[in-house]
């Protein structure tokens, strides 16, 4: 392990606030009903294979992938389909979903799945088997994992980088996974090395997580082409572009993919699920989520079936009456939860519940830009957020994209975080990108 504090240039140091770091993962009580959204991932929605009143078993396939860039869905609980209908998604929109009422008599054993001998699977068969698990990036991006593993023609992966940084404040699911389930992460990583043909892998962990560094090093077998490296604690250290810069000393080209720089990058939670599900031929039906913040009495790292209504998770964590704001994800990249009726999705790693006194009301008032350049000094992509913000206010979206590299912005929120004028820069950029997508679709 390297002891130097390697890192990228720029970025910020928000307070870590990892109050749940020592909270062992526990399963929450079974919800009475789950809402399985058919689009919980980047790409085409899955297509429902079940109908109302149909009994389903935990782990059974209930929706098939809607194309190559898509994944199937599996029943998170044993019960009966109560509806195939529209339901609220985390963005507050109505989206197609399968609703399942739990069978109170069922023991919720996972009965589905056929063990596989992975050594006998060739490239495309292995990719298909991974797609069949329904696995997507569990760090938040929710990009189908099998698509990332399909190395484009003519490209070679020199290094698989494992993101164990968990640089977002408050979140501790990846940390607990590394401490409690390091063997599963390594099992998943071996499959990734097999699928990509990469000669080696590097597990990158921030140096504020010595127990995780230790657990991962102990899990590596001598002779494995796997090393564990410690990186400086800085946000957004876990972003693909930052990891590529720090570990490979290469840049992912603007508009390009990590494979353009010879890298494939996976989050530890994704690998742990791959290591567990793939050899058993099972599908993704649950995930760990950190529930934290002063707005809950029982913060923790909870294992819950996918589709569990956030209200049920909040009840288990004992939401306080003075809880005012709930953020899906961490404080830097998360989005406000519009309703507690929204279900748990594959990409949701945290619920941050803030009390009145934890929300800085002064940040709500926006002042004019004072041209202090703090946003430029913070931006890890070396953009000019101040200028981009001015263009966004004037709705000059095309100019932002064509002349000022808006699409290189990965919405890390560093610029908004440091701005003394409380300008919600990252929100302007999200709106600008959404408008550009809309205009492009209309064309």
Residue with structure tokens 């001998």? 117
**Should residue 413 be labelled a site residue for ligand SF4 when binding is judged by CB under 6 A?**
yes
Q: Which residues contact 378 (CB under 8 A, 6 or more apart)?
A: 10, 11, 12, 414, 415, 417, 418
**Should residue 316 be labelled a site residue for ligand SF4 when binding is judged by CB under 6 A?**
no
Taking the complex as a whole, the smallest distance from the CB of residue 220 to ligand SF4 amounts, in Å, to 33
Query: CB under 6 A: which stretch of 25-33, 41-49, 147-155, 373-381 binds ligand SF4?
Result: 373-381
**Should residue 315 be labelled a site residue for ligand SF4 when binding is judged by CB under 6 A?**
no
Among 268, 272, 378, 432, binds ligand SF4 (CB under 6 A): 378
**Should residue 410 be labelled a site residue for ligand SF4 when binding is judged by CB under 6 A?**
yes
**Should residue 383 be labelled a site residue for ligand SF4 when binding is judged by CB under 6 A?**
yes
CB-based burial label for 394 (10 Å; 0-12, 13-18, 19+):
exposed
Among 411, 424, 427, 435, binds ligand SF4 (CB under 6 A): 411
**Should residue 432 be labelled a site residue for ligand SF4 when binding is judged by CB under 6 A?**
no
Over the window 351 to 370, marking each residue x when it contacts ligand SF4 by CB under 6 A and - when it does not, the resulting string is ------------------xx
Given the complex with ligand SF4, which of 327 and 423 has the nearer CB atom? 423
Residue 266 near residue 238 (C-beta atoms within 8 A): no
**Should residue 68 be labelled a site residue for ligand SF4 when binding is judged by CB under 6 A?**
no
**Should residue 434 be labelled a site residue for ligand SF4 when binding is judged by CB under 6 A?**
no
Residue with structure tokens 């572009």? 241
Per rule CB under 6 A, count of chain residues that contact ligand SF4: 29
Query: CB under 6 A: which stretch of 218-226, 275-283, 358-366, 419-427 binds ligand SF4?
Result: 419-427
Among 24, 303, 359, 373, binds ligand SF4 (CB under 6 A): 373
**Should residue 242 be labelled a site residue for ligand SF4 when binding is judged by CB under 6 A?**
no
Given the complex with ligand SF4, which of 189 and 332 has the nearer CB atom? 332
Q: Give me 169's structure tokens.
A: 């404040």
**Should residue 249 be labelled a site residue for ligand SF4 when binding is judged by CB under 6 A?**
no
Taking the complex as a whole, the smallest distance from the CB of residue 87 to ligand SF4 amounts, in Å, to 30
Given the complex with ligand SF4, which of 236 and 275 has the nearer CB atom? 236
User: Peptide bond preceding 239: is omega within 30 degrees of 0, i.e. cis?
Assistant: no
**Should residue 415 be labelled a site residue for ligand SF4 when binding is judged by CB under 6 A?**
yes
**Should residue 287 be labelled a site residue for ligand SF4 when binding is judged by CB under 6 A?**
no
Among 374, 392, 397, 432, binds ligand SF4 (CB under 6 A): 374
**What does the alpha-carbon distance between residue 248 and residue 262 come to, in Å, rounded to a whole number?**
9
Taking the complex as a whole, the smallest distance from the CB of residue 351 to ligand SF4 amounts, in Å, to 22
**Should residue 237 be labelled a site residue for ligand SF4 when binding is judged by CB under 6 A?**
no
Written in H, E and C, the secondary structure of the chain is CCCCCECCCCCECCCCCCCCCCCCCEECCCCCEEEEECCCCCCCCCEECCCCCCEECCCCEEEECCCCCCCCEECCCCEEEEEEEEEECCCCCEEEEEEEEECCCCCCCCCCCCCCCHHHCCHHHHHHHHHHCCCECCCCCCCEHHHHHCCCCCCCCCEEEEECCCCCCCCCHHHHHHHHCHHHHHHHHHHHHHHHCCCEEEEEEECCCHHHHHHHHHHCCCCCCEEEEEECCCECCCCHHHHHHHHHCCCCCCCCCHHHHCEEEEEHHHHHHHHHHHHHCCCCCEEEEEEECCCECCCEEEEEECCCEHHHHHHHCCECCCEEEEEECCCCCCEECCCCCCECCCCCCEEEEEEHHHCCHHHHCCCCCCCCCHHHHHCCCCCCHHHHHHHHHCCCHHHHHHHHCHHHCCCCCHHHHHCCCCCCHHHHHHHHHHHHHHHHHHC
**Should residue 330 be labelled a site residue for ligand SF4 when binding is judged by CB under 6 A?**
no
**Should residue 412 be labelled a site residue for ligand SF4 when binding is judged by CB under 6 A?**
yes
**Should residue 342 be labelled a site residue for ligand SF4 when binding is judged by CB under 6 A?**
no
**Should residue 186 be labelled a site residue for ligand SF4 when binding is judged by CB under 6 A?**
no
Q: Which of 382, 392, 383 is nearest to 423 (CA)?
A: 392
Given the complex with ligand SF4, which of 2 and 336 has the nearer CB atom? 336
Among 75, 126, 426, 432, binds ligand SF4 (CB under 6 A): 426
**Should residue 379 be labelled a site residue for ligand SF4 when binding is judged by CB under 6 A?**
yes
**Should residue 431 be labelled a site residue for ligand SF4 when binding is judged by CB under 6 A?**
no
**Should residue 386 be labelled a site residue for ligand SF4 when binding is judged by CB under 6 A?**
yes
**Should residue 419 be labelled a site residue for ligand SF4 when binding is judged by CB under 6 A?**
yes
Longest CA span, the chain = 64
**Should residue 284 be labelled a site residue for ligand SF4 when binding is judged by CB under 6 A?**
no
Among 423, 428, 432, 433, binds ligand SF4 (CB under 6 A): 423
What is the contact surface with ligand SF4 in residues (CB under 6 A)? 369-375, 378-379, 381, 383, 385-386, 389, 409-415, 418-421, 423, 425-426, 429
């Amino acid at each position: 392990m390297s002891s130097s504090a390697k890192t990228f240039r720029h970025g910020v140091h928000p307070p870590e606030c990892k109050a749940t770091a020592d909270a062992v993962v526990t399963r929450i009580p079974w919800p009475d009903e789950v809402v399985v959204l058919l689009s919980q991932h980047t790409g085409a929605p899955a297509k429902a294979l079940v109908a109302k009143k149909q009994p389903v078993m935990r782990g059974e396939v209930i929706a098939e992938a809607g194309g190559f860039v898509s994944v199937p869905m599996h029943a998170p609980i044993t019960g009966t389909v109560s509806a195939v209908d529209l339901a609220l998604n985390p963005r507050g929109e109505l989206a197609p979903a399968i609703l399942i009422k739990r069978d109170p008599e069922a023991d919720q054993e996972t009965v589905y799945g056929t063990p596989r001998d992975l050594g006998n699977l060739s490239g495309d068969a292995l990719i298909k088997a991974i797609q069949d698990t329904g696995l997507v990036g569990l760090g938040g991006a929710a990009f189908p994992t099998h698509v990332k593993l399909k190395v484009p023609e003519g490209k070679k992966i020199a290094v698989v980088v494992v993101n164990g940084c968990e640089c977002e404040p408050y979140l501790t699911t990846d940390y607990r996974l590394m401490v409690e389930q390091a063997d599963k992460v390594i099992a998943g990583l071996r499959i990734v090395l097999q699928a990509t043909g990469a000669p080696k892998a590097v597990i990158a962990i921030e140096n504020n997580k010595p127990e995780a560094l230790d657990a991962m090093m102990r899990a590596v077998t001598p002779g494995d082409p796997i090393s564990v490296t410690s990186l400086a604690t800085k946000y957004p250290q876990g972003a693909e572009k930052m990891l590529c810069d720090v570990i490979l000393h290469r840049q992912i080209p603007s508009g390009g993919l990590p494979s353009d720089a010879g890298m494939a990058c996976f989050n530890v939670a994704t690998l742990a699920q791959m290591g567990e599900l793939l050899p058993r031929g099972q599908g993704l039906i649950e995930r760990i989520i950190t529930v934290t913040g002063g707005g809950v009495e029982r913060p923790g790292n909870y294992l819950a079936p996918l589709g569990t209504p956030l209200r049920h998770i909040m009840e288990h964590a004992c939401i306080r009456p003075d809880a005012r704001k709930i953020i899906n994800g961490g404080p830097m990249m998360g989005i406000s939860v519009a309703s507690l009726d929204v279900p748990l999705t594959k990409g949701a790693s945290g619920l941050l519940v803030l009390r009145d006194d934890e929300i800085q009301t002064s940040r709500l008032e926006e002042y004019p830009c004072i041209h202090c350049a703090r946003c430029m000094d913070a931006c890890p992509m070396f953009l000019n957020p101040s200028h981009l913000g001015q263009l966004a206010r004037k709705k000059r979206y095309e100019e932002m994209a064509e002349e000022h590299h808006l699409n290189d912005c990965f919405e890390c929120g560093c610029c908004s975080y440091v701005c003394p004028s409380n300008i919600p820069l990252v929100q302007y950029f999200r709106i600008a990108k959404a408008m550009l997508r809309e205009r492009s679709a209309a064309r």
